[in-house]
Structure 1
C-alpha cells in the first residue's frame, strides 16, 4: 500500500514539474499602462520583467499610428529597467510594440507586446455605456480588482478671513482668502451652529450671560453631519449617509434658510455617491469634492453592471439617478477605477440654479483650491506597498511610504468646470498647506522616499508648475534623510519644516518661479506641524517638542514627542531666521486638534489673540502619562512682545484617567466682547478681556 501511494506521488510530481520549470525558465512579462494621456505629457508603460538596455532600439521597440505605420517618437528606459517612457507625439491613436528581444529574459512566453494608447489635447466625455464598461473590463482583465483605499488629508497664500469681521464674530480659519472651507462650528448674527452627530445645535449667544438653546436641526439617525458652512442667510450642512433606496452611501449638502435662526427651513438637498473629500465655497458657488469606488469587480460574476455614480437633487427629482455618461470622463495617464466626483451648486438667489456634477475616473486624495482653479492630487504607489492608515501618533514619528504624486487641474467659473491637464511630481504631498497657487503658477512641496531607509534616504522637493502644469522651477534634495512636517506659502516666500531629529525651518525664495532658492535655515529641537502667518515677517509654529532615546533591544536611537510647543519665528532677515519666542504646553501626551486640523485655531485680530483647544497630560514613571485636564488656551502674539499666555481656560482633572470626550473643547469662537468654548455637550461663555466665566449651557 505504501508503495502504491509513493508511485502516485511520483506521478503527480512529474506532472507538475514541467509547468514549474516552464514558469521559471520562461516568465511572462505583463504590462501596465494608462490608455490615455494629454499631448503635454509623456506616456509610460511598466513591465513585470526587466528590459535590456542595449536593445531599446527602433528594431525591437517602436510606435505605430492607427494605420500601422511607424512614427517618430522618443522612447527612453526608466531607471528601474522595467518601464518605458514615450514622448513627443501629437494627438492621435498609437500602438507601442515591444519585441521579445527587448527583455533581459530571452525565453519569454510573450513574443511581442502590442499596447494601444491615445494622445489627446482635450478631455472628452465617455461616449457610451459600452465604452465605460469596456474600461472597467480592462481593469478586471489586468487583475486590478481589489478595492481601492482613499487617503484623506487634514488638506492668495496667507491665511486670512474669507468673510468680513464687520459683524465682530469668529470666522473659519481658511487657507486661501476668498475660499471658504467650512468647519464643525460656524457663527452668524450672534448664533452659534455646532455639529453633534445627527444634530445641528443652534445656540443663542447674543447675551453671553444667559446662553439659550435656540433650536436643534435633527437629521435622520443614519445621517451624520461632518461639516457646516455659511453663505449669506443660508446654512450649508454636509452629511454622510447610507441610502437604502439607492443601495449606496451618499454625501449630501443640505441648504437651510436661517433668516430666522430659531426656525431654520430646509430649502434643498444635493447629493453625490461616495465619500466626501472636502468642500469649498468661492465666487458664489459651492463645490462638493469626493470619491466613489464602483463595484466593478462584480463584472467577474455578473458580466454587466451599472457602474456610473448616483446623484440626487431635490430641486429636480426625488429619485437617485445615475450620472449620464456625457458627464463622465477618464482622466489621462491613470489606471484607477475610482471616481473623483465634483458637484458645483450656484448659491445666488436662494440656491435655485441647477447643480452640475461631473465624474472623472481617476481617484484623488488631496485638494487645493484658489478662486480660479481646483487641484486634486493622488499618490502613485510603487509596487504593492500598503497605504498607511490614519490616526494620531503621539509618540514615535510616522514614516512615509515611497511614492510620487499626480496632480490634476480644473479651471473653475461658477458651476462650469474645465479640465486643464495633469502632471506628476516626485514624492508624496503632506496636506493642502503643502500646495499653493500664485500668479497662475502651482507650487507643491513633497517628500520622496523613506527617512528610515539608509540605502535610499528620503529627499524633499519644492516644484513650481506653470498654468498648464509644466514644471518650470524646483528646489530639490532638501534636508536628505528627513521628511516634511509642515509647509506654508506666503506670496514670494515658502516656509518648510522638515524633521527627523531636529526641526529645520527653511526659508525659500519663490519670487522667480524659474529659479527658486533656499535663503536661510533654522535648526531647533522638535517640529511644527502647522505654520500660521502672523505678518509678512513672522510665523507661528505649533507642534511638538521631542527628545532622543535609546532602544536597548535594537541598540539604536529613536525620537519621541514630549510636550506641545508653540514658537514665533522671526524671518525679517530671510537668510537668518530666528526662533524669537517659544512656549511649552503641558507634558508628554498633551495635544491639541489644531496640530492636525488648523480649523481649530482661534483668532481675534484686534486683541492679537491666537488660541486652541488643548488636552494636558504629564509624564510619570515608566514612560506612563497622567491626565491633567482639558479646555482652551489663549495667547497674545505680537512681533514686539512675542508669545504671552492671556487665558488659561482649563477644567482640571478630578481623578479621571483621561479626558471626557463629551466635555472636551472642540472649538473656540468669539461674538462681540465674549469668548465661547464649544464641546459636544456644553457651551461656555467668558469675558473676552479677562476670561472671567459668564455662563454654561448644557446640551443634552
Structure 2
C-alpha cells in the first residue's frame, strides 16, 4: 500500500510539471534576452546558471557582428552572477558568444550560447506582419512571458504638486491632481453650478444652482456594455472614460465618449474614441487628452498553428463605424523587453470641440505605472528576475519560473500635443509604489523604490531614491534607506523629497534633492503608525493620512507583530529639515475605520480659502476580540493650518441605525464645493450643506 501511494504521488507530480520526462532529468542551462536595445542603453542576457567572474575573459565571452567579426564591447557580470551586461556598442546587429567554460559548476548541464541582438539608435516601427509574428513566437519559445505579462494588469517642467484642474470654474472644486497643468479626471467633476457624477453605465447631472433645492438636470445613459470609471472636463466638453466589451469583435475596449455640455441639461454626443484593452489612466495637458492602457493579444494560439491578427484594434466614430487594426507603422517594440503586452497611447486634440482625428500608437512592452508632466510621459513596468532548475524533492524543476526579485523598467516619451517621441528606457533597482513615488523637476526624473521583501530575513528589504537626467542616465541616488521596511508613501516638493517607510514605526525621511548628483538625507522622524498619502500644505508643512498602529505579541511564534487600529491624520512641520516633527495629530474612528483617500488621493477635499481638507469616511469601533462594530458613514472636514494644527470643523456623519455594515449605495464617494456650499455625493443621493457651519440644506435622491 505504501509503495502504491508513492507511485501515485510521483505520477501526480509529473502530471503537473510538463517538460519533466524523467525523474532525475538534468536540464540545460538556459538563456533569456531581448533582441533589441537602444544605443543609449546596456543590453543584458540572463542565464539560469551562474557564471564565474574569473572566467569572464575575452576568450570565453565576446561579441561579434552578425557576420562573425569580433568587436570591442564592455562586458560586465551582474550582481546576481547570472546576468551579462553588454554596453558601448554602436547601432548594428551583433551576437554574444558565451562558451561553456565561463559558467560556474552546478547540477545544470553546461552548454555554450550564441545570442543574437540588435542595437538601434531610435525606436523603429515594425516593418512586416512576419516580424510581428516572429516576435510573439520568440516569446512563446522563451517560455517566461506568461508570468511576466500577468504583472502588467496590476495592482500612477517642474512638478510643484499644486491642486489644479482644466475646468475654468474658480469658485468650485477641482480634481486633486499631482502635477499643475496636468488633469487626471475623477468620478465627480464640477462646472458652472453643475455636478457630474459617475454611476455605472450612466452620468448623473445635478443642477446645484439653488443648493436649497437640488434638481436632477438629466441622466446621460451610455451603452449597457460600457462601464464608466472616470470623468474629465475641457471647456464645454465632458469626457466619459470607461471600459466596454465589444461582442462583435470579442474584445474589450477603453473608450472615451465626448459630450458638448453647453446646455448641461441636454448634453450633446460629439464622438467616441476607443483603443483595445484596458485603461491604465488618462491625462489631459496642453489641450490634449491621452488615453493610456494595456492590451493582451491571444498570441499563445500561435501554438495551434493559427493565423492571427495580433495588432490592437482602434475605433473613432468621427472617421468610421468599423473597428480597425492598428497599422504596422504605428507599432513599435520597446527596447529591452520581451513581453507580449501592448502599451497603447491614444492622443486626442481637444481644441475646437475635440473634432480632430485621434492618434494611437502601440508599443510592445506592457506597463503598470505612469507619471506625466506637461512635457513628458513616463511608463513603468516591473521586471521579475527569476531562476530555473531549482531542486524540489530531489527533482530538478526545469519548467518552473520562480521570481526572486522585482526591479522597475522606466520608459520615457517627450510629448507635444498628439506627437509622441520615444526618448529611451532604463532600469532601477526595486519596485515603485505609485505615481507619487515619481516626479520630474527641471528635466530630471526622480523615482523612489523598494528593493526586496521586508519579511524576507535572507534578503532584507531596502529603499532607494534615484535621480535620472533627461535621457534617463543616472545622476545621483540615495540607497539603502530603512533596511527591513518598505515605502508606504512619497511626495516630491521641488528641491525636497519626503518618503514614509514602515514595518513597526513610521520613519518620515526628509531628502534634499536640490543637487541631483548628490541627494542627501537631511533628517527623519519616527512615530507609531504610517501615512499612505502625503499632501503639501505649504513649503514647510505636510499633511499625512494613514493609520495608527499598535504592537502585539504572538505567543505561538514568540514574536511581536504590528496591527492597524484607527485612521490617523498628521501635520508634519519640516521647517527644520534636520529635525522634522509631528506638529499635530488626530485619530479618526476606531479599528476598521477607513476612507478611499487612503489609496486614492482623488477623494481628498480641498478649499484653500477656508483652509479646509476632508474626505469620505466609514467609521467602525473595536468590539469583542477581533470584532469591529459599524458606527456610521459620511465625511469629515478639518481646518488645517501651520498656526492651529488640525481642527475638526465638519463631522457630517450618518450614524448607524442598526446595520451590521455600511450601505455601499449610500457611502459618500466625493466631497465637493460650489461657492459657499459643500456637497456630498453618493451613488444614491447628493446632499448640500452650508460651508461655514455645515448646516444641512437639501437632499436629492438618485435612482
Tell me the TM-score normalized by structure 1: 0.93
Q: Are the aligned partners of 2:496 and 2:513 in contact in 1 as well (CA < 8 Å)?
A: yes
Aligned equivalents of 1:160, 1:45: Cα separation in 2: 44
1:195-344 pair list within 5 angstroms: 195-344=198-347
| Match among 570, 580, 584 for residue 581 of structure 1 | 584
Q: CA RMSD in A?
A: 1.8
Aligned to 2:118: 118
SS at match of 1:501: coil
1:126-525 pair list within 5 angstroms: 126-144=126-144, 146=146, 148-150=149-151, 155=156, 156-163=159-166, 167-383=170-386, 402-525=405-528
SS at match of 1:140: helix
Q: Are the aligned partners of 2:28 and 2:111 in contact in 1 as well (CA < 8 Å)?
A: no
Aligned to 1:38: 38
How far the C-alpha of 1:149 sits from its partner, in A, is 2.0
Q: Are the aligned partners of 2:49 and 2:106 in contact in 1 as well (CA < 8 Å)?
A: no
SS at match of 1:622: coil
Aligned equivalents of 1:112, 1:476: Cα separation in 2: 36
How far the C-alpha of 1:345 sits from its partner, in A, is 0.3
Aligned to 2:650: 647
Aligned equivalents of 1:258, 1:384: Cα separation in 2: 56
Aligned equivalents of 1:678, 1:644: Cα separation in 2: 23
Q: Are the aligned partners of 1:153 and 1:431 in contact in 2 as well (CA < 8 Å)?
A: no
Aligned equivalents of 1:621, 1:238: Cα separation in 2: 44
Q: Are the aligned partners of 1:402 and 1:428 in contact in 2 as well (CA < 8 Å)?
A: no
Aligned equivalents of 1:339, 1:153: Cα separation in 2: 14
The superposition leaves residues 313-332 of structure 1 with CA deviations (integer Å, 9 ceiling, x where unpaired) of: 11111100000000000000
Aligned equivalents of 1:127, 1:162: Cα separation in 2: 41
Aligned equivalents of 1:438, 1:512: Cα separation in 2: 11
How far the C-alpha of 1:270 sits from its partner, in A, is 0.4
Aligned equivalents of 1:591, 1:172: Cα separation in 2: 21
The number of aligned residues is 667
Aligned equivalents of 1:637, 1:109: Cα separation in 2: 66
Q: Are the aligned partners of 1:152 and 1:366 in contact in 2 as well (CA < 8 Å)?
A: no
Structure 2: gaps of 5 or more residues? 1-19, 389-402
1:518–1:613 CA distance, 2 compared to 1 (3 A): same
Aligned to 2:624: 621
Aligned equivalents of 1:112, 1:292: Cα separation in 2: 36
How far the C-alpha of 1:48 sits from its partner, in A, is 1.4
SS at match of 2:309: coil
How far the C-alpha of 1:105 sits from its partner, in A, is 4.3
SS at match of 1:383: strand
Aligned equivalents of 2:563, 2:361: Cα separation in 1: 45
Aligned equivalents of 2:594, 2:652: Cα separation in 1: 15
Greater displacement, 296-305 / 177-186: 296-305
Aligned to 1:10: none
Aligned equivalents of 1:553, 1:106: Cα separation in 2: 39
SS at match of 2:597: helix
Aligned equivalents of 2:537, 2:248: Cα separation in 1: 50
Aligned equivalents of 2:249, 2:209: Cα separation in 1: 42
The superposition leaves residues 77-104 of structure 1 with CA deviations (integer Å, 9 ceiling, x where unpaired) of: 2222222111111111100011122223
Aligned equivalents of 1:596, 1:59: Cα separation in 2: 54
| Match among 674, 677, 699 for residue 696 of structure 1 | 699
How far the C-alpha of 1:66 sits from its partner, in A, is 2.3
How far the C-alpha of 1:245 sits from its partner, in A, is 1.4
The superposition leaves residues 193-243 of structure 1 with CA deviations (integer Å, 9 ceiling, x where unpaired) of: 001100100000110000000000101111110000000000000121110
Q: Are the aligned partners of 2:76 and 2:84 in contact in 1 as well (CA < 8 Å)?
A: yes
Aligned equivalents of 1:696, 1:150: Cα separation in 2: 43
How far the C-alpha of 1:162 sits from its partner, in A, is 3.1
How far the C-alpha of 1:164 sits from its partner, in A, is 6.8
1:172–1:180 CA distance, 2 compared to 1 (3 A): same
Q: Are the aligned partners of 1:684 and 1:694 in contact in 2 as well (CA < 8 Å)?
A: yes
Aligned equivalents of 1:240, 1:352: Cα separation in 2: 22
Aligned to 1:9: none
Aligned to 1:78: 78
Structure 1: gaps of 5 or more residues? 1-17, 386-399
| Match among 562, 565, 575 for residue 562 of structure 1 | 565
How far the C-alpha of 1:29 sits from its partner, in A, is 1.5
Aligned to 2:89: 89
| Match among 22, 25, 31 for residue 23 of structure 1 | 25
SS at match of 1:149: helix
Matched, 1:66 2:66: yes
SS at match of 2:602: helix
1:572–1:123 CA distance, 2 compared to 1 (3 A): same
Q: Are the aligned partners of 1:379 and 1:405 in contact in 2 as well (CA < 8 Å)?
A: yes
The superposition leaves residues 509-557 of structure 1 with CA deviations (integer Å, 9 ceiling, x where unpaired) of: 0001011101111111000010000000100000000011112222221
How far the C-alpha of 1:150 sits from its partner, in A, is 4.2
Greater displacement, 108-117 / 517-526: 108-117
Q: Are the aligned partners of 2:168 and 2:235 in contact in 1 as well (CA < 8 Å)?
A: no
1:22–1:603 CA distance, 2 compared to 1 (3 A): closer
The superposition leaves residues 39-91 of structure 1 with CA deviations (integer Å, 9 ceiling, x where unpaired) of: 11111111112223322111111100122100111111222222211111111
